[in-house]
Amino acid sequence: MHRIPSVSSSTESAPRIIDDRVMLPVRAVFEAMGMTVDWDEATQTAIGIKGHRRIFLTLGSATAWVNDLPYTLDVPPQTVDLPGGGTGKGPRSAA
């Protein structure tokens, strides 16, 4: 288990409970882990990179890839509606 030092509690990036799962903002989690974050619009994939570690989370896919190894997620990453009518860019993933 990896402890995340801090995740912003701002309205836009606050964790949410969706269908009995805690969904965390991927960008905030990756950044709290000291990773650089990229978004591949063509594949709808969030990418976190730190040193040799690479994590890929694709919207709607229950498979996360960590250093070329697949990991099954309980809930696929998804976008969420934000207060004020916007939509969260990139996935949120189950904790």
92: enclosing H helix or E strand: strand 92-94
Per-residue tens of pLDDT for the chain, all 95 residues: 445 555 554 445 678 888 888 888 888 889 989 999 999 999 999 999 999 999 999 999 999 999 999 999 998 998 876 665 554 545 555 44
Helix boundaries (H) for 1-95? 26-32
Bridge-based pairing state of the strands 21-25 and 45-50: unpaired
Between CA 23 and CA 75 the distance in angstroms is 9
Beta bridge partners of 93: 24
pTM: 0.76
Bridge-based pairing state of the strands 36-40 and 21-25: unpaired
* Beta-sheet strand order (sheet of 16-18): 16-18, 21-25, 92-94
